[in-house]
Structure 1
Amino acid sequence: MIKIGLTGWGDHPSIYSTTSTRRDKLFDYSGHFPIVELDTSFYAL
């Protein structure tokens, strides 16, 4: 099985409704994609 996600949920305004608050973006994202990459720990090393 291949799962596709984006590298973050805040940088892709085309998948959100215009009324999405910053707090609701992860919830809206999860309606489109089953997975998200959290790469902050990678870049913090």
Structure 2
Amino acid sequence: MDGYPHNRTCCTNYGGPSLVQLMFLFFGTCYVIACVVYETYGILKARVGR
């Protein structure tokens, strides 16, 4: 037996996320927050307008 055939395991340090991944995460989070705020505003405006 030569041992485990792979040099990466669950404990290997794979490095951090790339800049592109961080940008997608940032803009995706901003988009979700903007959608929630917009929908909440629409719901509250509809309730007050009754």
| TM-score, length of structure 2 as denominator length | 0.23
| Structure number, greater radius of gyration | 2
Bigger relative contact order (CA 8 A; separation at least 6) = 1
TM-score (norm 1): 0.25
Higher normalized helix content (fraction of residues): 2
